[in-house]
Amino acid sequence: MGEKIVELRHVNKHYGGVHALRDVDFELRQGEIHCLIGQNGCGKSTMIKVISGIIDVDPGSEVFFDGTPVHRVSAAFAMNSGVRVIYQDLSLFPNLTVAENIAFDRHTDSSVRGVSWPAIRKKAADVMEMMRVSIDPESLVEELSIADRQLVAIARALATNARILIMDEPTSSLTRKEVNVLFSIVKDLREKGLTIMFVSHKLDEIIEIAERITVMRDGRIISTIDNSSVDEAELARMISGQAIFYHQDFPASGDKVVLEVRDLSRGSEYRDISFKLHEGEILGIIGLLGSGRTELATTIFGMNPQDSGQVILDGKELNLRSNRDAIAAGIAYVPEDRLLQGLVLNQNIQNNVVISVLNRLKGALGLINSGKCRRMTDDWISELSIRSAKPEIPASAMSGGNQQKIVIAKWLSTNPRVLILDQPTNGIDVAAKSTIYDLIRELAGKGMSIILISDEVPEIYYNCPKALLMHRGRIIKEIDCRAVSESEFSRETDFTPESGTGGTEGPPAGDSRSPNEPGNSEGGAV
Amino acid sequence: MKEKTGKNILSGSEDLMLIVLIVGCVIFFTAMKPSFFSPGNFSSIARQIPEIGLFTLAMMIPMMVGGIDLSVIASANLGSILMTMYMNSHIEKGGENVPAVIVSILICAAVCIFVGFLNGLIVAVFRIPAMLVTLGMQMVTTGIALGITRGGTLSGYPESFTGIGNNAFLGIPNQFILFVIAAAALLVIMQKTSFGIKLRMYGSNAVATKFSGIDDISLLIRTHMLSGVYVAIAAVVMTSRLTSASAGAGANYLMRAILIAVLGGVDPNGGKGRVWGIIWALILFQCLATGLNLLRVNSYIVIALYGVILLLSVFVRTRRAA
């Protein structure tokens, strides 16, 4: 095992009211593949930001690079130390070519000298050759498949003397086959001396690729272990701890169909979607990022009009011109990105709760009755037990779970019949997660019809009697969660053999441009 | 919790900071020039505040949604030219015709509100930054105004009109009373109407506000139309005080309005801004302008000084936000 290349000692980090890292001790050794694992909101992303110098740690924390204490890790310092992060969104320039993307950082640091196109192409070709990947350097990144873009992002990192490659959830939108390719390249890079930090919440993949595994929960490091000494079940136990108690306890749903979707299609986003949602039912939609799940949800919410097909509420076809029509019809949508789409962070909780129902809060002269607004907000705060919330505090001061409750309160004030929740527990700590689940069940118990969209197996399995599996814009399976075990469910929703299902549409599969020999995992170093 | 008290003290301290600066200014200029501290001087300040104040309020409204309006002065001049032409053609020289004055004021209001409507429509529907849209509108309205007047100056007003900007009621200049009413109305609109709340929410986060079911197109159009109302009031006050209308009147108000808005705590990125902050910033600015004038500081230096103040206040604001 190599030298310690990065070491954190007693690192703490507070964001507003959130204690994101608690007394973290962590080390990354030269030439290892180190996986960081934990649920959403456990502090994984904060760790990445600390190591890459995006955020400052609290006073009293100690950070070492190559054994030397670093007073303050700045982004430039991390860059010079060879830290390269590949975020989930890849941060590529879609309208530039592959070669330009790969060589981008090289020709930003060379002052005024002109751009040398042959040099750029050569650099790109060299890096791709080292990775043993063949992607046309002249093609535009926006034309590539997600998997190929991932490889371009890696190539871009390698083009500038990377020593530590950090990958944040690199497999979240890849099929199994593409994951295999990625892993073989990662192993290859390790052979060449690179240190790799791999962040994920997929256990099977972690077990497959990691040498050492660090488990995080609620901002703490639970343990760092050698891969050989654990199995999936034990990891799962460490990740969830005892804080969350999953159990299948579905409220009885009625027979009445509330919402029906018939043959809904929209461009390359999704196709031929049909399902029925009953009164008091929690219907699960499980699918990866890019499967069309969010596009479908926003269509039902009136923000993304379909090309064909119908959305029928209580037997009447809806003609939704905007989400105002959907809200008036009784449809509410808790969006995927809470911080951007769900909340106005700088404004107070009260405004965030009442924004959608301001017209109902008018008093004399059409002026807003602030007493009513306040009462309504107070009522929701106690109803949903939003801890430490007051109507006048900015939403940004609340923790993730409580923020999500504020978004839910906003929608509950509109008295919806159908509530769509898109990844509702993204970035929410474990304890808050189960209160969100309890809330969802309680609402369904009162007769509200709920669509729960997620890519987390337990979230769907334990909350939804019925789940639809969405892949490449289609519903490819309907699973009765009561009839299968969790591991069967997990296998059913894995995309290994059927990954070709939606081959007629969607982003180009890009097989022709994919890395040449997917199987060459153990190549010799050059 | 900590956050909350922090924010409250902050917004309180912003006002306090401006008030302290005002007091400091008054003491400094009085020490340098005792005539600064005289009823005559204060009444002159009270006479100057309304015009620039109304333009600043007109500027603040689109800034609250992260926009700006560079056409306020040009639009006011076009409105005031058409208003003057109507009065000239319907009222004989030296005559009096109150209904015609009212109609002409309504014409001015219609012009300014229509310009605001166009600004809002283009910003909202075509998603072009307000800075470019309103810059274009500034050129369009100035061009039309120059075409109508052939670059000249119009005048000839009945006393009922010139009184607005030159007479006083119980010793208080009329335009000052108008300004107080207009500012109070904006305070109510911002704090107590659904439009005002949506405006602030949209300014802070347009995406989340849209997801909440707010019609952003109508909101943006109404925002610029409301700004047009304040432009119209400013146009009437300015024309009445100057007793003339031309395409080039009030040219130096534009940058000052932006300066005072930022000084008063309006966040150019949207979502933040209070009428009270504007009022304190106005008083501070006018004390400063009058004092520098009394000390006979070179007017070119004064312009540079204004630039420094703008940069400083942007610097202080952004440092606090971080």
Contact B3 A322 (CB under 8 A): no
Q: Select the residue of A352, A368, A396 nearest B194 (Cβ to Cβ).
A: A368
Contact A340 B205 (CB under 8 A): yes
Regions of chain A where pLDDT drops below 70:
1, 16-17, 40-41, 106-115, 241-247, 427, 429-431, 495-526
Chain A residues whose C-beta is within 8 A of a chain B C-beta are 16-17, 303, 322-324, 326-327, 333, 335, 340-347, 351-352, 354-356, 358-359, 361-362, 366-368, 370, 388, 390, 392-394, 396-397, 410, 414
Contact B192 A351 (CB under 8 A): no
> Could you give the CA distance from residue A484 to residue A464 in angstroms, rounded to a whole number?
12
Element holding B176 (H helix, E strand): helix B174-192
Among A56, A355, A386, pick the best mutation site for testing chain B contact (most B Cβ within 10 A).
Answer: A355
Contact B188 A335 (CB under 8 A): no
Whether the pLDDT of residue B43 is over 90: the answer is no
Query: Looking at the domain A257-344+417-495, which fold is it?
Result: Rossmann fold (3.40.50)
Q: Quote the CATH superfamily of domain A4-243.
A: P-loop containing nucleotide triphosphate hydrolases (3.40.50.300)
Domain locations in chain B as residue ranges: 13-321
pLDDT band (50, 70, 90) for residue B1: very low
Q: Which of B10-19, B34-43, B235-244 has the highest mean pLDDT?
A: B235-244
Residues 6+ apart with CB under 8 A from B148: B81, B82, B85
> Could you give the CA distance from residue A157 to residue B38 in angstroms, rounded to a whole number?
69
> Could you give the CA distance from residue A418 to residue A330 in angstroms, rounded to a whole number?
6
CA of B282: how far to CAs of A15, A55, A277, B262, in Å? 36, 38, 58, 11
pLDDT value at residue B294: 87
Among B187, B189, B212, pick the best mutation site for testing chain A contact (most A Cβ within 10 A).
Answer: B212
Contact B197 A351 (CB under 8 A): yes
pTM for the full predicted model = 0.75
Residues 6+ apart with CB under 8 A from A279: A253, A254, A255, A256, A257, A258, A447, A449
Quick: pLDDT tens for B157-170: 888 898 888 888 88
Q: What is the DSSP letter of A252?
A: P
Percent of chain B with pLDDT over 70: 94
Other C-beta atoms closer than 10 Å to the C-beta of A6 total 26
Q: Does B184 touch chain A (CB under 8 A)?
A: no
Q: Is B28 exposed, middle or buried (0-12, 13-18, 19+ CB in 10 A)?
A: middle
Contact A392 B4 (CB under 8 A): yes
pLDDT value at residue A501: 40
> Could you give the CA distance from residue B247 to residue B109 in angstroms, rounded to a whole number?
17
A487 Cα to chain B: minimum distance (Å): 36
Contact B208 A340 (CB under 8 A): yes
B90 vs A218, more confident? B90
> Could you give the CA distance from residue A460 to residue A154 in angstroms, rounded to a whole number?
32
Q: Select the residue of A326, A344, A367 nearest B201 (Cβ to Cβ).
A: A344
Tokens of B16: 């306090």
Closest among A208, A215, A167 to A39, alpha carbons compared: A215
Whether the pLDDT of residue B136 is over 80: the answer is yes
> Which residues in chain A are contacts of B208 at CB distance < 8 A?
340-344
Contact A361 B194 (CB under 8 A): yes
ipTM: 0.83
> Could you give the CA distance from residue A38 to residue A223 in angstroms, rounded to a whole number?
11
Domain locations in chain A as residue ranges: 4-243, 257-344+417-495
Residue A362, classed as helix, strand or coil, is: strand
Contact B201 A347 (CB under 8 A): yes
Contact B192 A362 (CB under 8 A): no
> Could you give the CA distance from residue A355 to residue A367 in angstroms, rounded to a whole number?
14
What CATH number is given for B13-321 in this structure? 1.10.3470
> Could you give the CA distance from residue B76 to residue B149 in angstroms, rounded to a whole number?
14
pLDDT value at residue A182: 85
